[in-house]
């Protein structure tokens, strides 16, 4: 079944953005207060002269929100066939980053030169890889604040290129997302030889396939053979995952593949979740969380502290199990750390309410309503609703 997050993502794709890549990429956003269209920039286009390819290449770049106000460094996600995948890739990465499922990332789309896709992805792929290594990477990493973590996505013929790069030049990227390649026999032979050679796999791969009817039986057989090979022989350090999208055509699987592939590649970034307080304690409790966020910070160059969202999740977990005193302590500490954060304040009010500390809850909801109004936050309606409920409880 399709997850709620996937449905949210795909609904955004309905509002497809038609872009002109030679300058800047724009989407129109209606500002309802004035009924005046507001231009919302999705990314910026650059022209990169290439000596290796003997032509100018367009490069599309989407920076994380707040990039220009900070000093943080970011991983980079490279999208082949950028004219097809830059828009939905940028939106998808922003959604996942906001939810804490991947680190905020710089998205780089690489559109094909007119009529040159076969040359770059197949007949002269080694030259195209030289362009990536010697010209594109230095441009991106010399222009923007990056960390040494690269992801690449390719679909169909670009998926063949991506899979072949994983096999022959694996050090180029840390994570490979391969959507609907041919899964030809030569790939399997090369992967077998690579595994037998004892090569260290300090990288990860996520690969997919669509409907057997659409992709063809030979491709499906190759896909299954690749899974069997990795199940039997993949070294422990290789992080791999595959998905068969049986109800999707060849041209629709890149959207699913890119979204799921990003979360797979950054699975060590995703904050832990627990089914119960007991499971949280068994996992190591607060000491485990402190170690997790410390390790995550060292790899991805982010804040090492336990996040607001993680603390909120723990607080709500304790509430669900009626451990109200512990929940209030968690919510109070969170609100102290993030006093101007509307969601942290809302969590504190909820904790007080569920603990039947109604006067304290009412004070928090009053303050939270003002804070939400100032910040024009969508939680304002919930603050007002819970403020009324709290007043009703106090009136009993």
What's the pLDDT at 38? 65
Count of domains for the chain: 2
pTM to 2 decimals?
0.84
| pLDDT tens track for 77-121 | 999 999 999 999 999 999 999 888 999 999 999 999 999 999 999
What's the pLDDT at 267? 94
What's the pLDDT at 396? 84
Q: What's the whole-number mean pLDDT along residues 7-17?
A: 43
CATH at residue 185: 3.40.50.1820
Tokens 């336990």, residue located = 306
Confirm whether 158 is domain-assigned. yes
What's the pLDDT at 44? 94
Judged by average pLDDT, the poorest of 7-11, 33-37, 312-316, 375-379 is 7-11
Confirm whether 71 is domain-assigned. yes
Residue 324 and residue 220 share a domain? no
Mean pLDDT of the chain: 90
Instruction: Label the pairing between strands 175-179 and 204-209.
Output: parallel
Find the DSSP H helices in the chain: 4-14, 82-98, 117-118, 125-131, 137-143, 157-168, 185-196, 212-215, 217-233, 253-265, 277-282, 285-300, 308-320, 324-337, 342-354, 358-375, 380-395
Q: Which domain holds residue 164?
A: 4-265
Q: What's the whole-number mean pLDDT along residues 310-329?
A: 97
What's the pLDDT at 212? 93
Confirm whether 52 is domain-assigned. yes
What's the pLDDT at 202? 82
Q: What's the whole-number mean pLDDT along residues 237-256?
A: 95
Q: What's the whole-number mean pLDDT along residues 22-45?
A: 58
CATH at residue 337: 1.25.40.10
């Amino acid at each position: 079944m399709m997850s709620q997050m996937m449905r949210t993502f795909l609904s955004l794709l309905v509002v497809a953005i038609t872009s002109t890549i030679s300058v800047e990429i724009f989407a129109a956003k209606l500002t309802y207060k004035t009924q005046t269209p507001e231009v919302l920039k999705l990314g910026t286009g650059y022209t990169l002269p290439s000596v290796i390819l003997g032509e100018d290449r367009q490069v599309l770049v989407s920076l994380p929100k707040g990039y220009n106000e900070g000093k943080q460094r970011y991983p980079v996600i490279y999208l082949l066939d950028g004219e097809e995948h830059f828009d939905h890739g940028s939106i998808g990465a922003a959604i996942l980053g906001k939810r804490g499922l991947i680190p905020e990332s710089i998205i780089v789309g690489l559109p094909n030169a007119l009529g040159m896709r076969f040359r770059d992805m197949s007949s002269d792929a080694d030259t195209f890889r030289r362009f990536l290594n010697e010209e594109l990477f230095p441009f991106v990493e010399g222009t923007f604040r990056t960390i040494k973590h690269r992801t690449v996505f390719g679909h169909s013929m670009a998926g063949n290129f991506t899979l072949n790069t994983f096999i022959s030049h694996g050090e180029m990227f840390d994570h490979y997302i391969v959507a609907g390649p041919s899964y030809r026999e030569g790939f399997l032979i090369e992967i077998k030889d690579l595994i037998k050679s004892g090569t260290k796999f300090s990288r990860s791969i996520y690969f997919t396939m669509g409907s057997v009817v659409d992709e063809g039986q030979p491709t499906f057989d190759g896909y299954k053979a690749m899974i069997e090979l990795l199940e039997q022989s993949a070294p422990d350090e290789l992080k791999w995952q595959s998905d068969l999208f049986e109800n999707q055509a060849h041209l629709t699987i890149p959207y699913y593949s890119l979204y799921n592939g990003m979360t797979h590649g950054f699975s060590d970034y995703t904050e832990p979740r627990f089914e119960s307080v007991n499971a949280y304690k068994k996992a190591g409790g607060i000491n485990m969380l402190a170690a997790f966020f410390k390790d995550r910070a060292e790899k991805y160059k982010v804040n090492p502290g336990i996040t607001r969202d993680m603390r909120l999740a723990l607080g709500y977990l304790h509430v669900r199990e009626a451990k109200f005193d512990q929940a209030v302590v968690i919510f109070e500490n969170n609100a102290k750390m993030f006093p101007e954060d509307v969601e942290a304040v809302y969590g504190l009010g909820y904790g007080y309410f569920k603990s039947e500390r109604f006067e304290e809850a009412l004070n928090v909801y009053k303050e939270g309503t003002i804070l939400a109004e100032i910040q024009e936050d969508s939680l304002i309606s919930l603050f007002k609703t819970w403020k009324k409920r709290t007043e009703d409880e106090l009136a009993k």
